[in-house]
């Protein structure tokens, strides 16, 4: 009997040690809750194949061909758009690129919700536009996504993180490495973690 009790105590100890007393239940996460993927699984698979072959590739595939693919999958793309290699776009059908937008190498657009980039705006290398999030106060870690809007004439510097629900105002400059978790003013230079306006762009 003592041996059985010891084994039970050992099992309980290991369970507490490795699972803790957390309230978080990732096993209850529902990927369909609070997320409209916008297309069927078949379309997603087809897009993923095209993305791996022509967008994530380091090869300099013609920009016109990549724009054709984006439009084919439902993106709204204006004139004069430049898309460099190794760009990761999650849902093209939730993306709008206005005229003369530049997308630099290794930009990641996680657009669970719509992302709009205004005309004459530039996203430099490794910018992360993250329109996806989780509700950390929800035990099942449910999605808490929100759209992102970048207005006209904006420069988002290299390795900037832009969080869900953010609007970056017209002609703003976001300095390299900044973390943007709230709206940024028009025509201002913004930097830091969290990013804040530090000076006017135009003098």
Tokens of 137: 């106060």
pTM (predicted TM-score): 0.88
Tokens of 118: 């205004």
Tokens of 176: 């390299």
pLDDT at 14: 55
Q: How far apart are CA 186 and CA 174, in angstroms?
A: 11
- Decide: 22 and 140 in contact? Cβ < 8 Å: no
Q: What are the pLDDT tens digits along the chain (203 aa)?
A: 666 666 666 665 555 555 568 889 999 999 999 999 999 999 999 999 999 999 999 999 999 999 999 999 999 999 999 999 999 999 999 999 999 999 999 999 999 999 999 999 999 999 999 999 999 999 999 999 999 999 999 999 999 999 999 999 999 999 999 999 999 999 999 999 999 999 999 98
Q: In Å, how far are 36, 38, 178 from 91, measured between CA atoms?
A: 11, 8, 24
Say which CATH architecture domain 38-200 belongs to: 3 Solenoid (2.160)
Q: How far apart are CA 56 and CA 22, in angstroms?
A: 38
Return the residue matching tokens 């290794």: 106
Determine the number of helices (DSSP H) and then strands (DSSP E) in the chain.
Answer: 3, 17
Reduced to 3 states (helix: H, G, I; strand: E, B; else coil), residue 92 is: helix
Q: How far apart are CA 37 and CA 102, in angstroms?
A: 26
Backbone angles phi, psi at 69, to 5 degrees: -65, -45
Euclidean distance between the first and final Cα of the chain, in Å?
Answer: 84
DSSP state of 194: T
Q: How far apart are CA 191 and CA 34, in angstroms?
A: 31
Q: How far apart are CA 38 and CA 76, in angstroms?
A: 15
pLDDT at 19: 55
């Amino acid at each position: 009997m003592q041996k059985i009790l010891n084994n039970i105590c050992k099992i309980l100890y290991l369970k507490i040690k490795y699972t803790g007393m957390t309230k978080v239940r990732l096993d209850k996460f529902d990927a369909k809750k609070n997320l409209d993927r916008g297309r069927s699984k078949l379309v997603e698979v087809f897009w993923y194949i095209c993305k791996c072959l022509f967008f994530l590739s380091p090869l300099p595939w013609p920009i016109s061909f990549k724009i054709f693919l984006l439009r084919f999958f439902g993106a709204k793309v204006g004139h004069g758009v430049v898309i460099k290699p190794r760009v990761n776009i999650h849902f093209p059908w939730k993306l709008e690129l206005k005229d003369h937008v530049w997308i630099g190498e290794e930009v990641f657009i996680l657009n669970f919700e719509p992302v709009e980039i205004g005309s004459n705006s530039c996203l430099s290398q490794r910018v992360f536009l993250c329109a996806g999030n989780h509700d950390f106060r929800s035990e099942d870690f449910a999605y808490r996504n929100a759209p992102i809007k970048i207005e006209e004439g904006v420069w988002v510097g290299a390795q900037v993180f832009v969080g869900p629900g953010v609007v970056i105002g017209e002609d703003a400059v976001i300095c390299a490495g900044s973390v943007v978790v709230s709206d940024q003013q028009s025509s201002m230079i913004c930097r830091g973690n969290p990013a804040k306006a530090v000076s006017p762009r135009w003098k």
